[in-house]
Structure 1
């Protein structure tokens, strides 16, 4: 994979992360590339909720990527018939 393709893939994943974070009611910090909850930051509760937010967003990203891959396989299969 060339550098341009890697950059495009990174941007696509960041966009997906932002979209899912927004859908779940979390904030995506572009500077730190992290998901943040609405809890007060730099507190124990804030850190714990940020971890939970990251897990939820990551899980949804994985689910969405698998769905996209499955759809591509189905489309390719149907195209070849």
Structure 2
């Protein structure tokens, strides 16, 4: 039972991170579809292409942030043992 709460909290935190990064980059996060959307007209070839680019940029920044957080946690753990 506890794992479900942890998983839902983690998913919520990741979605919040996704929304924050999307907003910082000037994109919209559609909570219904769970997709990043550009400001380009949707349902057009240009819109689809820009949405793909937006998703790649947001995903890349999320990965970068998560790696930085993990590095800090590892360093803090290491430094607290020494």
Fold shared by both chains (TM-score > 0.5): yes
1:1-81 maps to which residues of 2 (within 5 A)?
2-81=3-82
Deviation at 1:27, TM superposition (A): 0.3
Aligned residues: 81
**What RMSD, in angstroms, separates the aligned Cα atoms of the two structures?**
0.9
TM-score after normalising by structure 1: 0.97
User: In structure 1, the residue corresponding to 2:29 is in which secondary structure?
Assistant: strand
Q: Which runs of 5+ in 1 are unaligned?
A: none
In 1, the alpha carbon distance for the partners of 2:79 and 2:3 equals 30
Moved over 6 A (4+): none
TM-score normalized with structure 2 length:
0.96
Q: Which runs of 5+ in 2 are unaligned?
A: none
